[in-house]
Structures are given as structure tokens and as C-alpha cells.
Structure 1
Amino acid sequence: MVAQEFTVDLNKPLVYQVGYLGESYQEWVHQPIVSKEGPRFFESDFWEFLTRTVWWAIPVIWLPVVCWAISKSMQMGVSLPLIAFLVVCGVFLWTLIEYSLHRFLFHIDTKSYWGNTIHYLLHGCHHKHPMDGLRLVFPPAATAILLFPFWNLVKLMSTPTTTPALFGGGLLGYVIYDCTHYYVHHGQPTSKVPKDLKKYHLNHHFRIQDKGYGITSSFWDKVFGTLPPMKAAAKSR
């Protein structure tokens, strides 16, 4: 007897449904539904609230932390030129983290119940509903938790006096990333650079989803050979 294939009911909370898709999950989650109205994730209003974040909350919450971190290095006597260099290095470090997370974690293949469920919460929901504006940036509560391992990583790479500035640069890189990500989905760029960035990212969503992992730039895609084929990129124009 062949088991009946599970069908997701889009009118019911999705998070606890997607796990039952099993091996069909990957195909399902990469068939986008282009609608600005996002689905409901949880029956609980509390957990549902935690999944929704307005884009402007990211700079409002985290830019003061960036300034605080940089000021800590200044108070410990680090020169302004060195602080500027550390901030730039932190932003650059973030671009590598951004690429690595997107490629190796957010696009991991899953088929188990909890694997599918966790993947959907992390990134699958964004590919299924790419225009859901309230689930595009990372929830601040989750970011706060992830800042602890990021701080410890930065500590391994720097001295006690330079760690705060390097950390601040990395956090600034994250803020730029999340705001850029929101903009390429919902903004209407008129100049060449943002227009090309928007085309590049939407090509990842709607044409070749296993290439083009960079959000703020295509630099690491070029370095690691995950640049989308030029013909596919041209079609998205």
C-alpha cells in the first residue's frame, strides 16, 4: 500500500506542517508564492509575534550597539585610523559569514520532520514566500543570541582593545546586509548598482537557487565559484 502524499494547508499555521512533507519538502519550499501577505506560522499569538519584524527595527536596535562597541575601543586608547581599519575589516568579515551561512546552512538539504521544520524557520519560509516583508530581516531576539558566539569568534582574532571595534564592524556589516536584503526585495532602485544587486538576488530566488548566495555583493560567489551562469542572469533582466 502506497502512503498518501502529504499536502500542506496554506490556510493553517505552517511550521508544524512542513515537516510531514519529508523528501518532498525541498521541491515544495523552492516553488515560491509571490504575495505580500505572509502566511501564519504558529497557532500561538506570542510565537507568531516573534516571527514578525519590521525592517527598520534592525538599524534602530543594533546601530546603537555598533556605536557602543566602537566607543569601547576608543576609550581603551585605540587610534581613530586603526578603529576605522578594524570596522572595515569587521564589515568584510561579515560578508564571508553572510555567504557561508546562506550557502552551507540556509540551503542545506533536509528531509526529516525536524530538519524540514528548522530549515523552514531559518530560511525556507523566505524562499516559499519571498515577498513577506515582515519575515525578511532576522528577528532581534535570535540575533542577540547569535552575537555571543560571534563575539567569541572575534576575540580569537584580535586583542582585548581591538575586539570591540572589530565586533562593531561585523555587526555594522550585518545591519547593512539585512537592510540591503529588504531593499532588494521591496525597493525600486533607479541607479545601476542597486538595480544590478536586485536582479542578481531575485535571480537566486526565481531561477537558479543553488547559485548566487551573496546578498550585499557577488564577491564571494566569484571567489568560490558559485556565480550564476551569465545567460541565466541575463534572463532576469
Structure 2
Amino acid sequence: MSVVGSFIWTFLGYCFHRFLFHIETKSYWANTFHYLIHGCHHGHPMDGLRLVIPPAEAAILAIMVCIYDLLFFFSILHDACYKFHHWAYVYGWLQKYHLNHHLRIQNKGFGLTTTLWDRVFGTLPKTKSAEKIG
């Protein structure tokens, strides 16, 4: 596992460095952002006070990790809601609601674990089953 992890880690490091940290920017703000993220490293490569990961990079990375963790958690919740029979008495209606999205009205009913965001964004399907859920 550590060999695979090392392979992935070094590959991602290469990709980030080549394709993100050395991207050619055209606007003032993009140039400024790029300099703050990586460009100052090239201006002062031997500066002992430089962090391995500057705060801006660390914040972006932390946000990405948090988003991934949340998506992973909700993926497990989604599977639990739809695939395990012992959850059917709690989430059976939601399974029917989401299957309606897959099988009948694919441009409505995007909520996976709640109808809240379909209500907020106006994507709640206008069907008899949705009205019963309401």
C-alpha cells in the first residue's frame, strides 16, 4: 500500500508542479495569485523561512480534502439509504423520490439524501409522489 501511495503522491506532486504551479497566466490578478502560490519560490529558492506549503496552497488543499471527505461520507450515506433494506422504513420514500429522477424526470429531483436543495433551487419534480413527500 505504501508503494502505491508513494507512486500516487509523487505523480500528483509532479502534476501540480508542472500543470498548476507553472501555468501561463495572462491577467494581473492571475499573475499575482500565481506569484503568491508558487512564483515567489522561484525568486527565493533557498530562503530558509519559506514554508514547504505556503498558507494559500495549504488552505486550498485543506478545502479540497474537506470536500472530498464530505463527498465520501455522503456516498456512504447514499448507499446506506438506497441499498440496505433495514433503512427502508426511514428512507424508503427518498429511494422512490430519487429513482423517479433516474427513471422518469431526469432534469428534476437531484437531491440524494434530502429534498431541501430541490426545493431551494426549484428542481422539485411536480409529480404525485413528490406531492405526497412534500
| TM-score w.r.t. length of structure 2 | 0.45
Structure with higher Rg: it is 2
Work out which structure has the larger RCO, using CA pairs closer than 8 Å and 6 or more positions apart in sequence: 1
Report which of the two has the higher share of helix: 2
